[in-house]
Structure 1
Amino acid sequence: MRLTVLGGTGGWPTAGTACSGYLVEHDGYRVLIDPGYATFPRLLEHCDAADVDAVLISHGHPDHCVDLNPLLRARAFAELPVPPLPVYAPPGALAAVLALDRPGMLDDTFELREFAPGTAFETGPFAVRSWLLPHWEPNAGLRLHVGGAVLAYTGDTGPSPALSALARDADVFLAEASYPERVPGDSVQYLSSARQAGQTAATAGARSLVLTHLMPGTDPGAAIEAAAAGYDGGVSVAVPGLAMPATVS
């Protein structure tokens, strides 16, 4: 399993960045996780729109899903027919994005497979488990398992006991870390800090930690330092182009 970061900025994309977006590959099967703002052009640096085999979406905020629209448009206008794209998302999460175009325009480009966070399913060679995690709208933490390797991804979440189960012994723990040390009071139930991500990674025994969803203006070095205060494994920040294998140690 190979993870390539397309973007990892929280909220909105700044110059030269993109919001949440992750390409996960195994044996030629490509899964796109959370196609947020500005991730589609980044995706095209790695593969064609027609080469994506499935899309997984943690929740319906636009910085996690809005670039599903250009992905589906590109497939709709492809010169050669492209099969419908399986798109997995919590119920109702994509209603706004799928309503951006005229009725029926994209109907043949995707097959919506809604799932309740907390359930399990398969896509291609990947076994996927999900957890309901606290956010302003239902958010699914996602754990992908294939060939003995595990990638765990939080989406956006506040503190939850379920995070330890999600990240347990993960080869890569891709964790929302909007702020280095402290989450503002109005968001403390719904977002996480890099320090919290490091503590979760340590408790869960994750082998490596990738911090993502850093809010614009956040110092990546400060986020890494905060996470490393409670976690002695490898820590990096999700920036476009970061690629790493998720393999059994």
Structure 2
Amino acid sequence: MKLTVVGCSGSGSGPESPASSYLVQADHEGRTFSLLLDLGPGSFGALYRYVDPADVEAVLLSHLHPDHCLDLCALYVGASYSPTAPWRPAAVYGPADTAERLVRAYDVAVPPGTEPAEPGRGIADYFDYRTWQPSQQIGPFDVTVTRVAHPVEAYGIRLTERAGSGASLVFSGDTGPSPALTELASGADLLLIEASFLDRPDNPAGLHLSGRQAAELGSAAGVGAVVLTHIPPWHDPDRVLAEATPHFAGSVELARSGARWTIG
């Protein structure tokens, strides 16, 4: 399993990176299977550095805040209007109202009695929308999810490669401290975990993690390595890393746009 950071900026795109998006690839049925964890603002364009977006077979949404899903609108435009269009519709996994959320983001109201300006299938009909189940098979991966602590319906996602070494990757999405995420991450090879806050006593509860809290969660789960992500542009990533490092005995790294890991 290979992980490539397409975008890792928290709460929006940043000066060095698009917003949340991670490319995960593995061999499957004689080809490379490519899926995305989230597709936040700016990540669709950056994706061209690593893979043809037409080859993405699934998009897994941790939740429907704009910094995690809005570049599905750009993917839809590419799939509909690029020179190689139409593209095979990707499967989009997310909360039950994912299609409706994207319609609100993309569609523009037209005057009563007029026809929509765009021909063909709209964004609500283009993708193969699938509501998260506790477990599902997606290409070469067994994928399990759990609700995490966030103000909206949000999920931690675990991918386990069915072939070879059975490598495992857990993505926290956005979450505050969460026993359910600790359980989901138990024994994972790599934990890609948000660290949006500096370590302060007055941080809002049930919203995000600090670097220290992310490292402590990784330690409690017994993961092999921790990668800190979703750091917003107003925080110094190196300070977040410094706050995390004493609380995890193994490797703690920062996610950076373009960084890659081979897992397993």
TM range (shorter): over 0.9
Aligned to 1:129: 144
| CA offsets 1:183-224 (integer angstroms, 9 cap, x no match) | 744x22221111011001111111111101112122222111
Matched, 1:240 2:257: yes
Match of 1:20? 20
Indicate the RMSD between aligned Cα atoms, in angstroms.
1.6
1:138/1:206 CA distance change after superposition, 3 Å: same
What does the per-residue CA deviation read over 1:138-160, in whole Å, with 9 as the maximum and x for residues that have no partner? 10100000031000011000111
Please list, as runs of the form range in 1=range in 2, the aligned pairs for 1:1-249 lying within 5 A after superposition: 1-27=1-27, 28-78=32-82, 79-99=84-104, 100-101=106-107, 104-107=121-124, 109-116=126-133, 119-146=134-161, 147=163, 148-182=166-200, 184-185=202-203, 187-247=204-264
Matched position secondary structure for 1:53: strand
- Structure 1 residue ranges without an equivalent (≥5): none
Provide closer, same or farther for how the CA distance between residues 149 and 88 of structure 1 changes in structure 2, counting only shifts above 3 A: same
TM-score (norm 2): 0.87
Deviations 1:132-187 (A, max 9, x none): 111010101000000310000110001111121121111110001002313744x2
Q: CA deviation at 1:80?
A: 4.8
Alpha-carbon offset, residue 11 of structure 1 = 1.0
Distance 1:124 1:183, change over 3 A: farther
**Greater CA drift, 160-169 or 137-146:** 160-169
Using the alignment, how far apart are the partners of 2:129 and 2:95 within structure 1?
A: 10
User: Relative to structure 2, which stretch is displaced further, 134-143 or 96-105?
Assistant: 96-105
**Partner SS for 2:243:** helix
Query: Given that residues 76 and 106 in structure 1 are in contact (C-alpha distance below 8 angstroms), is that contact kept between their aligned partners in structure 2?
Result: no
TM-score scaled by structure 1? 0.92
* Cα shift at 1:237: 1.1
- Consecutive unaligned residues of structure 2, counting only runs of 5 or more, are 109-115
Size of the aligned set, in residue pairs, is 244
8 Å contact kept, 2:34–2:56: yes
Identity of aligned residues (%): 37
Q: Amino acid of the residue matched to residue 95 of structure 1?
A: E
Residues 1:77 and 1:184: Cα distance change in structure 2 (over 3 Å): farther
Larger radius of gyration: 2
- Which amino acid is 1:120 matched to? S
